[in-house]
Structure formats: structure tokens, C-alpha cells
A and B are shown apart, each in its own frame.
Chain A
């Protein structure tokens, strides 16, 4: 126990001595959170529409007015030339071309049906899908308004009508940052944990000081624990700073008990740092360690459900996410912070990560050789 304490002391002295380290521990998480929360978002607003109005009727004008009034769209071009519109689409000046054909209003009234043409730049498939949804909602709404106005359909209380109402729970204003910040916190904690531990032992190998540790009576398990503890504390500290910044800067509601989040983070950090130590013991140079750590980081993040829902993945990919510690923490962080989940809802995750932590750290201890 005393020996571990000495190693921890040594690590802290080294960290404190490194001028680049302190600001990157205290300042970086806040900056990263602020930047990431604004940058890492699929929130889709300010879509540019090119409106080609061949009809010029009153209905067409009203539809244009409805689009203009929507917070998601703005009309940036109206010159009635399909060629010019296509050109702007090609050069990413506009996202959508809405073409109102000639006779739009006339056909609606005389034939009872009419058409609109919509052309979406779909290179970003996600964005195109959301754009289509927004557009659909506006057009359907406009359509329904016209029907009621022209007396074509009856009100909601008459026979044959269904009144559909909507509620958006946990995030009524549909604020994307509320969704992303708890996830981004996980990413920050993972990054610092994985990179710092991943680079740590291999650095001692590279500069040769590992030899000095190898000749001490320090046991392998003590060595690994002593290496983890300082970064474990730093990781928890980062989480506290990040959570504070998230609440202050982005008004993240904390519905559940934050203590639960910290308890979970304690287990989670053991897993991540075990992986980091394992990387550090298998590699020979800092460069290798960095690449491996970066690779793990990228895979963990992509497969964590942080950016895209896990439920959308094919089955084999969902099985892979079962082995991803980050996906557990993302889920726990979101359900506890945003929805107020308690111990009963997250105890399975605790159990799984607990076993994970023991397994990976045992592997790291086993893999560390006190020989050269």
C-alpha cells in the first residue's frame, strides 16, 4: 500500500512539473465542451431553399410565406430558371429546390389535386432525411389549412376524424445540445483517460526509466494500480468540471442523481484506463501507443450511440456495441441526467462494466513484464 502511494506521488509530481499538462487538464475540457457542443450536432436549421414559382398564384405566395416563416428554412433564390437553380444546388449554395408548377392553384381547385416538385441535395443523407421531414410537415400543414378553409373537410370533433396530439418529453424545446452534452462529457473523459494512460508507461519505456521501476520491489499489480490512480482522479475531476460547465453554459437539466453518474464514472474510468495501460504495455513507442489509442477512441465513439442511435445499427453491429464500454456510459449518463433514472435502471450496466474492469485490468497486469 505504501509502495503504491509512492508511485502515485511520483506521478503527481511529474504531472505538476509538466507545463503543458496542467492547462490541458484544467482548461481543455471546458474549451472542448464548449466547442464540441456547438460543433458536434446534427441539429438542422437554416436550410436554404431555392423557390421556383411558375404559378404566381395566391396559394403559391401563401406557401412561400409559410416556408419563410419557418425557423428551419430561408428562401435564398427565386429567379424562375431551373438551370440556375440546379447550378446553385451543384455549388452547395442551396439545399433544396422547390418548384411550384404552372397551374398549381388552378389544378387544386378544379381537379382536387395538384403537385409540387422538390429536389434535395442528398449527399448528406441524414440532413436530406430531416429536410424532407420538415418540408413534409410544412406542406401537409398548409394543405390541411387549405382544406378546412375551403370547407373540404370537417373539424376534429366530427365523425371520422382523429385528433393526434404530440408531446416531447424530457426535452420539450427539442434542444439538441441537451442531448449531446451528456454524451460529449463521456467522450472527453474517455479521451483523457485513454490517451494519458496509453502514453504513460510506454514513455517510461522509451526514455528508459521503466528499468528503474523494474528493479524496485514494486509488484506488477501495484504498479498498474499506482499508474491508474492519478489519472483516475484527474478523470473524475474533469467530469465534475465538464458537468459544471454544461449546467452553467448550456442549462442541461439534471433530473437524476449526479452521485450515480459519478459512481458509474468511477467504474467506467477503471475500464478505460485498463485499456490504456494494456495499450501502453503492448507497444514499444509513444507513436504506436498514440495510434492505437486514437484508433480505439475513434471506434468506441462511433459505435457508442453518441451520434447515431444504436437501434439503427444492424444486429451484428449492435452485438459489437455490447463490448464497447463507452456505449454503456453514454446511455447511463443520458438516462440519469435527462430522464432521472435511478439505481434500479442502471444496475445491469454497473454489473457489466464492473466485470469488464476486472477482466481488462487483470489482462493489463498479466501483460506487463518486469523484464526487457
Chain B
């Protein structure tokens, strides 16, 4: 036991000596959560528009005024002719053009088709969709106001209830995602590199001839990363709760227990990689392309998995982070208890057992 503790101490020395890596390990999650909390949003405000007003009467000026004062749009400039339209979009700044047909006010008063055309820069389809629907709502609002009706006849009124995240904040989805990603990085990537490093510089041989049994060596190597991982998870959750007001409806103890389970799963994955990879560089490339990219892309924390081709959807099932993110979301935002997430927990447990089993089978005491 004492020898084991000494071994763990040696590992901690290795980690603390490399301060740059430590700063990144703790700085990265904090920065990412902050960015995602404040900066990364799809919410649209102040989108630049141009107006081509072929009537230039009181009505069209009023509508333009209403569009601008809504806060969603910012009038970049007025165009003089339709030839300018094409050029207006080419810098990428202008998102939409509003074109009023000639004689708008007259046509509106007497009939005959008052025309507005909304031209969106659809190279970004989502933004285009949102902008045209905002603009439509504002124009219709002006229309209703002018006609002196507060409500059109036969109106279906829809009330929306945004469950689990009423303000549609990006961080709600992102906190579980960042947790999964950082744990993956700390646990899987760092351990695989740490173990292969000993192999590469030859100190593994020294360890193997020592009286420590191989399993103690491996456990000793991963304990510090386990600690780092759990601390990181706690920091991310705390930031989510205290800075961004994300609720934890479920049990915090259960949440940390599941985080621990996920750390164990990724650690065993890291060990598995280190039994396969011979050099640090291979281990890194393997971790990056085999673990980090799939975790970011397929775990569903940034991009919705449901719309991907079935091959990718199917692949997403073998990614541990996917299951962990479901668990975290359910506990924090939906207040699920263990009875709701035992299946996902079982999947993680199974994966951990599988990785450990294969690692034991592949672990070589002798070096060639």
C-alpha cells in the first residue's frame, strides 16, 4: 500500500511539473463554458438589411421604421435600383433585402396588390428562415395596426411552452457536452499518452522489473487522472450552476457518481489505447481522430444526431460520451432518478468492463 501511494505520488509529480498542460486542462473547460454561455448563440439581433423602396411613400417608410426598431434588423443602406441588389450581398454582411413594389401605399388603400419581397441570403439556411419569419410577423403587425384590427378573424392562437430550458440558452446543452469532452481528454488522452511515454523513453521497463505488480502500476498511473477528471467535472458543473443558473433538479450525488463512472470508462479506454500504441505520437493521433472528433461530432452536444445519415447515427451508439451526456442532461435538467437512467448507466459499465478486459488480455509484461 505504501509503495502504491509512493507510486501515485510520482505520477502527481509528473503532472504538476508540467504547468502549461495543467493550465490548459483547467483553463480550457472554463473558457469554453464562458464562450458558449455568452458568445456562441444562434439568436439573431441587429442583422444588417438593405431596403429597395420603389414607392418611397409614408407606408413603406413606416414599415422600414418598424423593422429597424424591432431590434432584429439594422438598416445598412437604401438601394436605388434593383441592379444593386446582387452586389449588396457579396460582402456577406447583408443578410436580407426588403423590396417594396411601386405604388405600395396606393395599392394598399385601393386594392391591386401591395407588394413586398423579402430576399434572404440563404447561404445560411437557418438564419434565412428566422429572418424572413421575423420580418413577415412585423409586416403583418403593421398591416393589422393600419386596418385597425387587433385580431384577425378566426385566429388560432398557439401557446408555446419551452420545457427544461425556457430561455433557450445554449449552455444548457453545452455544459454536459463540455464535461464529456474534457473528461475524455483528461482521462483517455492523457493516460494513453502518459503510459506510452514511459514505454517510449524506456522507463516502463524499469517499472516492470520492480516488485510492483503490473496491475498496481496501471492503477497507480491512472489514479491521479481520475482525481483531475473528477475535479474538472465538478468545476464545470459549478460554473454552469453559479454563473449561468443551470438548475440541478436531480440528485447531485448521483450526478457525481455517474461522472466518476464515466471517468473510469474513459480511463480504461485510455489504457486500452496505450496497450495498442507504441509511441506518444500514435497515441495522440489515435486519441484525437478516434476519440475527440467523434465525441464532438457524434455525441449530440453540438450537432443534433437525429438528422445524420443512419451510418453515423449507428456509430454514435459506440461513443461513451453519448450515453454520459444523456445521463447528465436527464439528472440536471429533467430531474431524473436512477430508475430513468439505469440503462445508460449499464451501457457505460459494460463499456468500461469491456475495455478493461481487452486491456488485461493485451497487456504485455515483457517488452520486445
Given A147-B152, A302-B35, A313-B41, also A286-B280 (CB < 8 A): yes
Given A165-B117, A169-B89, A288-B18, also A143-B125 (CB < 8 A): no
Report the bound CA distance from A132 to B110 in whole Å.
35
By a CB distance below 8 angstroms, the chain B residues around A199 are 281
Assess whether A287 is in contact with B159, with CB atoms less than 8 Å apart. Answer: no
Report the bound CA distance from A162 to B289 in whole Å.
54
* Chain B 167-192 per-residue mask, 1 if CB under 8 angstroms from chain A, else 0: 11110110000000000000000000
Assess whether B303 is in contact with A40, with CB atoms less than 8 Å apart. Answer: yes
Report the bound CA distance from A59 to B36 in whole Å.
43
* Chain B 275-300 per-residue mask, 1 if CB under 8 angstroms from chain A, else 0: 00000111011001100110001100
CB pairs A–B below 8 angstroms (6 shown): A109-B154, A139-B156, A146-B154, A161-B111, A161-B113, A312-B45
* Chain B 254-289 per-residue mask, 1 if CB under 8 angstroms from chain A, else 0: 000000000000000000000000001110110011
Assess whether B114 is in contact with A162, with CB atoms less than 8 Å apart. Answer: yes
Report the bound CA distance from A19 to B18 in whole Å.
31
The minimal Cβ–Cβ distance linking B132 to chain A, given in whole angstroms, is 6
A6-57 residues with Cβ-Cβ distance < 8 A to B are 20, 24, 28, 32, 35-36, 38-46
Assess whether B168 is in contact with A285, with CB atoms less than 8 Å apart. Answer: no
* Chain A 133-157 per-residue mask, 1 if CB under 8 angstroms from chain B, else 0: 1011101001100110010110011
Given A135-B158, A157-B113, A160-B143, also A312-B43 (CB < 8 A): yes
Assess whether B122 is in contact with A24, with CB atoms less than 8 Å apart. Answer: no
Report the bound CA distance from A294 to B182 in whole Å.
12
Assess whether B309 is in contact with A38, with CB atoms less than 8 Å apart. Answer: yes
Assess whether A20 is in contact with B285, with CB atoms less than 8 Å apart. Answer: yes
Assess whether A157 is in contact with B117, with CB atoms less than 8 Å apart. Answer: no
Assess whether B154 is in contact with A295, with CB atoms less than 8 Å apart. Answer: no
Assess whether A307 is in contact with B308, with CB atoms less than 8 Å apart. Answer: no
Assess whether A123 is in contact with B164, with CB atoms less than 8 Å apart. Answer: yes
Report the bound CA distance from A207 to B160 in whole Å.
62
Assess whether B151 is in contact with A122, with CB atoms less than 8 Å apart. Answer: no
Given A35-B297, A130-B126, A170-B89, also A147-B164 (CB < 8 A): no
Stretch of B214-222, B329-337, B346-354 at the chain-chain interface: B329-337
Assess whether B128 is in contact with A312, with CB atoms less than 8 Å apart. Answer: no
The minimal Cβ–Cβ distance linking A279 to chain B, given in whole angstroms, is 11
**Beta-carbon nearest neighbor of A287 in chain B:** B193
Tell me which of A32, A44, A123, A317 contacts B333 (CB under 8 A). A123
A325-372 residues with Cβ-Cβ distance < 8 A to B are 331, 334-335, 338-342, 345
In the complex, A112 has a CB within 8 A of chain B:
yes
* Chain B 316-357 per-residue mask, 1 if CB under 8 angstroms from chain A, else 0: 000000000010011001101000100000000000000000
Assess whether A119 is in contact with B47, with CB atoms less than 8 Å apart. Answer: no
* Chain B 39-72 per-residue mask, 1 if CB under 8 angstroms from chain A, else 0: 1111111111000000000000000000000000
By a CB distance below 8 angstroms, the chain B residues around A136 are 133, 158
Stretch of B2-10, B24-32, B224-232, B360-368 at the chain-chain interface: B24-32
By a CB distance below 8 angstroms, the chain B residues around A32 are 293
Tell me which of A40, A115, A164, A298 contacts B32 (CB under 8 A). A298
**Beta-carbon nearest neighbor of A116 in chain B:** B158
Assess whether A112 is in contact with B281, with CB atoms less than 8 Å apart. Answer: no
Given A115-B157, A162-B143, also A122-B307 (CB < 8 A): no
Report the bound CA distance from A127 to B306 in whole Å.
11
Tell me which of B111, B115, B161, B166 contacts A117 (CB under 8 A). B161
* Chain A 286-310 per-residue mask, 1 if CB under 8 angstroms from chain B, else 0: 1110111011001100110001110
B109-153 residues with Cβ-Cβ distance < 8 A to A are 109-130, 132-133, 136, 139-140, 143, 146-147, 151-153
Assess whether A123 is in contact with B172, with CB atoms less than 8 Å apart. Answer: yes
**Beta-carbon nearest neighbor of A156 in chain B:** B113
Given A130-B129, A166-B120, also A302-B40 (CB < 8 A): yes
Given A118-B160, A129-B168, A176-B125, also A42-B303 (CB < 8 A): yes
Given A125-B165, A166-B117, also A179-B302 (CB < 8 A): no
By a CB distance below 8 angstroms, the chain B residues around A41 are 303, 307-308
Supply 5 further A-B pairs (C-beta < 8 A) apart from A174-B122, A307-B302: A20-B285, A39-B303, A90-B336, A137-B133, A164-B116
Tell me which of A90, A178, A309 contacts B44 (CB under 8 A). A309
In the complex, B38 has a CB within 8 A of chain A:
yes
The minimal Cβ–Cβ distance linking B8 to chain A, given in whole angstroms, is 20
Assess whether B147 is in contact with A160, with CB atoms less than 8 Å apart. Answer: yes
In the complex, A114 has a CB within 8 A of chain B:
yes
The minimal Cβ–Cβ distance linking B232 to chain A, given in whole angstroms, is 14
The minimal Cβ–Cβ distance linking A250 to chain B, given in whole angstroms, is 13
In the complex, A121 has a CB within 8 A of chain B:
yes
Assess whether B21 is in contact with A317, with CB atoms less than 8 Å apart. Answer: no
Report the bound CA distance from A168 to B97 in whole Å.
10
Assess whether A114 is in contact with B92, with CB atoms less than 8 Å apart. Answer: no
By a CB distance below 8 angstroms, the chain B residues around A217 are none
The minimal Cβ–Cβ distance linking B143 to chain A, given in whole angstroms, is 5
The minimal Cβ–Cβ distance linking A288 to chain B, given in whole angstroms, is 5
The minimal Cβ–Cβ distance linking A161 to chain B, given in whole angstroms, is 7
In the complex, A240 has a CB within 8 A of chain B:
no
Report the bound CA distance from A171 to B120 in whole Å.
10
Report the bound CA distance from A32 to B292 in whole Å.
13
By a CB distance below 8 angstroms, the chain A residues around B155 are 112-114, 143
By a CB distance below 8 angstroms, the chain B residues around A92 are 326
Given A160-B108, A169-B121, also A117-B303 (CB < 8 A): no
Assess whether A123 is in contact with B20, with CB atoms less than 8 Å apart. Answer: no
Given A35-B312, A168-B128, A283-B20, also A123-B165 (CB < 8 A): yes
